[in-house]
Structure 1
Amino acid sequence: MRALDIIALILVVIGAINWGLIGFFGFNLVDSLFGTMSSFSRIVYALVGIAGLYALSFFGRDRDRDRDPREVK
């Protein structure tokens, strides 16, 4: 699942950058690149939304599971 986590995180960051640009400068990067509500921009928005929902699962995960079990605490 590590690859899926990285992809989700990248999509969430893209969404955050886009919302930051909208909030600070009134500039929508996704619409500028792919057209206002074009099919591709809608797909990008949908993927970012799904990634955001998936990223909510990061809060409930055990952070110690990725550590080496031989590591001394």
Structure 2
Amino acid sequence: MVEKTALDWIAIALVVIGGLNWGLVGISQDFNLVALIFGYSIIARIVYLLVGLSALYMIYFANKQH
């Protein structure tokens, strides 16, 4: 089993948050948790960017050699 770094855990958490947010949007198009918390601000855009970067990192993470 590969030890997870702090970056691994942060990326996992952000991908889970992003996945749950998209699930909520899928259930109810009007319910966007990130927008509810941060509004449609630069902070929300940063959260979306970090979630996207985390998803890219998860591609690397899933293919790491053991």
Q: RMSD across aligned C-alpha pairs, in angstroms?
A: 1.2
Q: Which has the higher contact order (CA 8 A, sep 6+)?
A: 2
Unmatched runs of 5 consecutive residues or more in structure 2: none
Percent of aligned pairs sharing the same letter: 52
Unmatched runs of 5 consecutive residues or more in structure 1: 64-73
**Quick one: which of 28, 50, 65 aligns to 1:62?**
65
Aligned-partner SS, 1:62: coil
Partner of 1:68: none
- Cα deviation for residue 2 of structure 1 reads 1.1
Number of corresponding residues: 62
Residue 13 of structure 2 is aligned to residue 35 of structure 1: no
Q: Which runs of 4+ in 1 moved over 2 A?
A: none
